[in-house]
Structures are given as structure tokens and as C-alpha cells.
């Protein structure tokens, strides 16, 4: 691996993968705004493949908590590992959690390769799930091999990987901190970020998509409820001043219930003369219009 590719993987690739993951989730959220029931139908299949039993969920949760604790509190980890038996306990616990997560990943891959039902089958989703599980397995396997070959990773990772991750968060990446680490460590970091980039296309992404739709629905209802008093105030205040009904002079009278019958006028001069003669005869005493 040359310097240029190493700089890209350690400086630009983390930002690119997180951007792809966030953009994919937002795009999928927008595309499924009117198809929430269809997204919910994917949840049972995603739960069966990726989550499985409770011990699988516990293994993934413990693995995420262990990595978060090591990255967020590196000084506490260093202080804990100063005592030898503390270091042994921490390394053994981390390795056991990694083995449990790797077993959960293998079981997920096995359930994924089983023949799905006709309703749950999707070529794009199956392809994305396969890539995601492959990246996860490579990340877990490289982490376990690193723990076996390069021992005491909890100690040296606190002064290398944790500062590098902090530099990424602050927007000033320093790839030189981890550029000299072994290939297994860099492979572990690359595949972990690659899994983040592929995540939005998987069935597992249906969970945050559904949760986001629920949150948007609650926020929309809360915003509508908060806007009602403002709308009422506008109708009572600003609108009444702009359009005062009491000062309006209606020029056109309201129409009666039925249409008014307009007598037809004679169209010719002899018809008009006959009408005028009958009217004059009716006005005379004893007169009668014929």
C-alpha cells in the first residue's frame, strides 16, 4: 500500500463512507415517505437474519459499547490497564465479546443464505445484505486476529486509534497516527467504514427508516398543534384589520331564492301597438282588453 492510497483510506475514506451512509438513509427516507407499510413488511425478515436471538443482540450491543468506551475514554482505559491483571481481564473480555459477535455474524450469514419466501425476496436487498455481512465478517475476523497476534490492543489502541478518531471528529484528520500500524489494523478500520457505507441499502436499515417516519409523524402533529393558536390569532388580529367586514359596502345585492321572471318584450312594432291598445282599453271604465 503506497502513501497516496494509505492517505486516502485514513483521511478521506471515513468521511466518504459516513457521507454515503447518511445520504443513503435520507434518500431512502424520502423515497419511502408514502410506502411506510411496505417498509414495515421488511422488518420480520431483517430481524430474523441480522438480530436472531437475544444473545446475538447482546453480543452486538456489547461489541458496540466496548468500541465506544475505548474511543471515548482512552485515558480511563490506559489508567485501568496499568495493573497487569486489569489488562488481562480487559483483553479476555474483549476477545470473548469479539468471538460472540463473529459467531452471530456467521449465523446471520447462514440465515441469509437460506431460501427466503416469495414476498421477502429481493435481488437488490439480498446483494446489499451479502456485501454488508461480508464487510462485517472481515472486520470482526481482522480484529480477532489482531488481538491474537498483536496483543494488548486495548493499551496501544488508546494512543493510536483513539486520537486518530478524535482528529476525524474535529475535522482535522491526522493519518500519520495510524499509518504505521500493521495491515490487519488498517483492514479492520477500512471494512468497518465500508459496512457503514453499505448499511442504507440493507434490510437492516428498515429499522431506522421506520423509526424516522414515526418521529417525523410525531413532530408533524406537534407542529400542527402548536400552529393552531398562531393561526387563530392571525384570524382575529391581522386578518380582521386587513379585511374589516363591518366596513365593507356590498354593491351587488344577494340573489333571491328563485330566478326573477322578466317579461318578454314584443319584437315587432305591430305587437307593441297591440299591447299598448289593450292596456289603454283596460284603463277605461267598463273597458275590457281582448
Question: Considering the domain boundaries, does residue 274 fall inside one?
Answer: no
The pLDDT of residue 16 is 94
Question: Considering the domain boundaries, does residue 250 fall inside one?
Answer: no
Question: Considering the domain boundaries, does residue 92 fall inside one?
Answer: yes
Which CATH number do you get for residue 201?
Answer: 1.20.950.20
The residue segments making up the domain with residue 49 are 3-220
Number of domains in the chain: 1
The pLDDT of residue 269 is 46
Question: Considering the domain boundaries, does residue 135 fall inside one?
Answer: yes
The pLDDT of residue 288 is 45
DSSP string of the chain, one letter each residue: --HHHHHIIIIIHHHHHHHHHHHHHHHHHHHTTT-HHHHHTTHHHHIIIII-SHHHHHHHHHHHHHHHHHHH-HHHHHHHTTSHHHHHHHHHHHHHHHHHHHHHHHHHHHHHHSPPPTTT--HHHHHHHHHHHHHHHHHHHHHHHHHHHS--HHHHGGGTHHHHHHHHHTT---THHHHTS-HHHHHHHHHHHHHHHHGGGSGGGHHHHHHHHHHHHHHHHHHHHHHHHHHHHHHHTHHHHHS-GGG----SPPPPSSPPPPPPPPSSHHHHHHHHHHHHHHHSTT----
Query: Tens of pLDDT along 242-283?
Result: 555 555 554 445 555 555 555 555 545 445 555 555 555 455
Amino acid at each position: 500500500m503506497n502513501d497516496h492510497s494509505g492517505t486516502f483510506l485514513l483521511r478521506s475514506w471515513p468521511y466518504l463512507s459516513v457521507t454515503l451512509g447518511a445520504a443513503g438513509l435520507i434518500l431512502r427516507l424520502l423515497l419511502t415517505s408514502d410506502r411506510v407499510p411496505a417498509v414495515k413488511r421488511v422488518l420480520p425478515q431483517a430481524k430474523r437474519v441480522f438480530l436472531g436471538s437475544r444473545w446475538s443482540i447482546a453480543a452486538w450491543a456489547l461489541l458496540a459499547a466496548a468500541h465506544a468506551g475505548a474511543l471515548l475514554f482512552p485515558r480511563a482505559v490506559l489508567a485501568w490497564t496499568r495493573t497487569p491483571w486489569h489488562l488481562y481481564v480487559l483483553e479476555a473480555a474483549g476477545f470473548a465479546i469479539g468471538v460472540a459477535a463473529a459467531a452471530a455474524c456467521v449465523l446471520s450469514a447462514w440465515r441469509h443464505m437460506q431460501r427466503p419466501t416469495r414476498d421477502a425476496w429481493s435481488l437488490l436487498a439480498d446483494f446489499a445484505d451479502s456485501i454488508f455481512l461480508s464487510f462485517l465478517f472481515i472486520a470482526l475476523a481482522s480484529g480477532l486476529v489482531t488481538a491474537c497476534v498483536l496483543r494488548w490492543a486495548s493499551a496501544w489502541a488508546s494512543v493510536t486509534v483513539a486520537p486518530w478518531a478524535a482528529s476525524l471528529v474535529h475535522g482535522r484528520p491526522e493519518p500519520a497516527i495510524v499509518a504505521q500500524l500493521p495491515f490487519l489494523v488498517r483492514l479492520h478500520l477500512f471494512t468497518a467504514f465500508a459496512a457503514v457505507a453499505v448499511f442504507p441499502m440493507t434490510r437492516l436499515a428498515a429499522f431506522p427508516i421506520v423509526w424516522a417516519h414515526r418521529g417525523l409523524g410525531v413532530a408533524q402533529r406537534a407542529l400542527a398543534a402548536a400552529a393552531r393558536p398562531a393561526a387563530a390569532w392571525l384570524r382575529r388580529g391581522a386578518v380582521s384589520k386587513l379585511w374589516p367586514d363591518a366596513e365593507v359596502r356590498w354593491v351587488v345585492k344577494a340573489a333571491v331564492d328563485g330566478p326573477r321572471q322578466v317579461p318578454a318584450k314584443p319584437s315587432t312594432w305591430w305587437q307593441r301597438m297591440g299591447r299598448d291598445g289593450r292596456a289603454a282599453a283596460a284603463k277605461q271604465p267598463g273597458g275590457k282588453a281582448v
